[in-house]
Amino acid sequence: MKSQDYIALDEKYGAHNYHPLPVVISWAEGCRVRDPEGKQYYDFLSAYSAVNQGHRHPAIIQAVKDQLDAVTLTSRAFHNDKMGLFLQKLCDFTGYEMALPMNTGAEAVETALKAARRWGVEKKGVQNGKQEIICVEENFHGRTIAVISMSNDPDSTVNYGPYVTGFVRVPYAKAEAIEAAVTPNTVAVIIEPIQGEAGVYVPPVGYLKAVRDICTKHKILFICDEIQTGFSRTGKRFAWQHEDARPDIMCLGKALGGGIMPISAIVADHEVMDVFTPGTHGSTFGGNPLASAVGIAALKVLVDEKLDENAERLGKIFRDELRKISCKKIVEVRGKGLLNAVVFEKGFEAWNVCIALRDAGLLAKQTHGNIIRFAPPLVITEKELREAIEIIRKVFTAL
Ligand SMILES: *Cc1c(COP(=O)(O)O)cnc(C)c1O
């Protein structure tokens, strides 16, 4: 079968809830992928930062193989001999006391919202049903009904009502807007430390710290959605560390699964996590032994290969080089570490640029029409990065 045949199958039998770039991937390794015709590409999306460790990292693949020969699923009705080791490692890596494992990112966000609502009643004294959670404009936290109830993106929300109540939305990157929205019933503030889906929108320096301080002052939980920004993507293990704005709850996902399978979690200290008691929350697959083995290996790779330092160093080179490209249609190059975006002038169709990049051997995806996100696997070497930059330079200068 050829690429076009696979695409035709997707079109015919798959719901049309995505509009993928017309490229089929049938093989991958590190920061490269290949199509069925054998053409090779740099992967500059990394499955929205779920492949920070690179495709099929040998250490993670080995962990999967070993675990497949032992046990893969037990449910939480029984203990297994991997989950505790995984959560211990996750707590060590993040600096929190406890973790609650789920599967997808949206589930981690749901878990954080549930933790905050319960904490609000049990620890802050808010009446059940009155809890308010402050969220921000242009947020992306996932696709469930509760989560899209925070969104102001029409694509995510139109005709999915009735929406979940209890959310108050304020502008992003304005700490004073958050403080103005606080009431005695506010239990949490949830933000992304950098807004990924919104187009890698980096808030001004000091914002995260200001949000942290507001939350502390008003006895509100600070929830950081690090699902895309976490696990070394922005040059630190977590993006809040750029400002030392330690959240009360972190939502984690994507790269926690090492590019192999969906693994998510929230981490928090006892004060918050102890609101969960047996039967009050859960997931059949959360914390399963296979996922736990993958999670352990995925975290080990981040540490062993110092991927945070690689992201920090190569990110600077990447932005410096992109800013040197002469292309009148580019308005801004922005980002942190290896989470970057090129913003084109309003109304510009970045889709066509992504097609040209594909033809030149590099895969990236536009967001909001005129923005292209560039987020290669963090295992990329400087030599590979510079090769990729030349591809981008060629395509951009021809615009
Ligand atoms: C991808 C993402 C999610 C949702 O994760 P899923 O695994 O797709 O449910 C939530 N928040 C952020 C910031 C994300 O980037």
Q: Is the CB of 193 inside a 6 Å radius of any atom of ligand 1?
A: no
Distance (Å, rounded) from C-alpha 61 to C-alpha 49? 18
Q: Is the CB of 196 inside a 6 Å radius of any atom of ligand 1?
A: yes
CATH topology of domain 58-304: Aspartate Aminotransferase; domain 2 (3.40.640)
Q: Which atom of ligand 1 is nearest to the CA of 106?
A: 9
Q: Is the CB of 48 inside a 6 Å radius of any atom of ligand 1?
A: yes
Q: Is the CB of 233 inside a 6 Å radius of any atom of ligand 1?
A: no
Cβ–Cβ < 8 Å for 336, 318 = no
Tokens of 166: 């209890």
Does residue 140 carry a catalytic annotation? Answer: yes
pLDDT given for residue 368 in this prediction: 87
Measured by CA distance, the residue closest to atom 15 of ligand 1 is 228
Q: Which atom of ligand 1 is nearest to the CA of 50?
A: 1
Top-tier CATH class for 3-56+306-397: alpha beta
pLDDT given for residue 345 in this prediction: 96
Does residue 276 carry a catalytic annotation? Answer: no
Q: Is the CB of 105 inside a 6 Å radius of any atom of ligand 1?
A: yes
What are the residue ranges spanned by the domains of the chain?
A: 3-56+306-397, 58-304
Q: Is the CB of 192 inside a 6 Å radius of any atom of ligand 1?
A: yes
pLDDT given for residue 190 in this prediction: 99
From the candidates 89, 236, 254, 336, give the one annotated as an active-site residue: 254
pTM of the model: 0.98
From the candidates 140, 238, 344, 374, give the one annotated as an active-site residue: 140
Cβ–Cβ < 8 Å for 175, 227 = no
CA 122 to ligand 1 centroid distance, Å: 28
Tens digits of pLDDT across the chain (399 residues): 999 999 999 999 999 999 999 999 999 999 999 999 999 999 999 999 999 999 999 999 999 999 999 999 999 999 999 999 999 999 999 999 999 999 999 999 999 999 999 999 999 999 999 999 999 999 999 999 999 999 999 999 999 999 999 999 999 999 999 999 999 999 999 999 999 999 999 999 999 999 999 999 999 999 999 999 999 999 999 999 999 999 999 999 999 999 999 999 999 999 999 999 999 999 999 999 999 999 999 999 999 999 999 999 999 999 999 999 999 999 999 999 999 999 999 999 999 999 999 999 999 999 989 999 999 999 999 999 999 999 999 999 999
